A and B are shown apart, each in its own frame.
Chain A
Amino acid sequence: AQSVTQLGSHVSVSEGALVLLRCNYSSSVPPYLFWYVQYPNQGLQLLLKYTTGATLVKGINGFEAEFKKSETSFHLTKPSAHMSDAAEYFCAVSVLTGTASKLTFGTGTRLQVTL
Chain B
Amino acid sequence: DTGVSQDPRHKITKRGQNVTFRCDPISEHNRLYWYRQTLGQGPEFLTYFQNEAQLEKSRLLSDRFSAERPKGSFSTLEIQRTEQGDSAMYLCASSPRGAGEQETQYFGPGTRLLVL
Contacts and interface: CB of A to CB of B under 8 A. Distances in A.
Given A49-B104, A107-B40, A100 B56 contact: yes
B41 A107 contact: yes
Contacts of B93: 44
B112 to A, nearest CB: 8
Given A98-B56, A99-B55, A101-B100, A43 B107 contact: yes
B91 A43 contact: yes
Given A41-B109, A43-B109, A101 B101 contact: yes
A108 to B, nearest CB: 5
A103 B41 CA distance: 14
B42 interface: yes
Select the residue from A9, A90, A99 with max chain B CB neighbours within 10 A: A99
Contacts of A25: none
| Chain A, interface residues (CB within 8 Å), range | 20 to 34
Interface string B19-50: 00000000000010101000011111100101
A106 to B, nearest CB: 5
B100 A96 contact: yes
Contacts of A102: 33, 45, 48, 56
B42 A106 contact: yes
A104 interface: yes
Contact of B102 (A4, A94, A100, A105): A94
Contact of A32 (B6, B95, B101, B112): B101
Given A95-B101, A96-B101, A108-B40, 20 more contacts: A32-B101, A36-B107, A42-B110, A43-B4, A43-B91, A43-B107, A44-B43, A44-B91, A46-B106, A92-B42, A94-B101, A94-B103, A97-B56, A100-B33, A100-B48, A100-B55, A101-B102, A105-B44, A107-B40, A107-B41
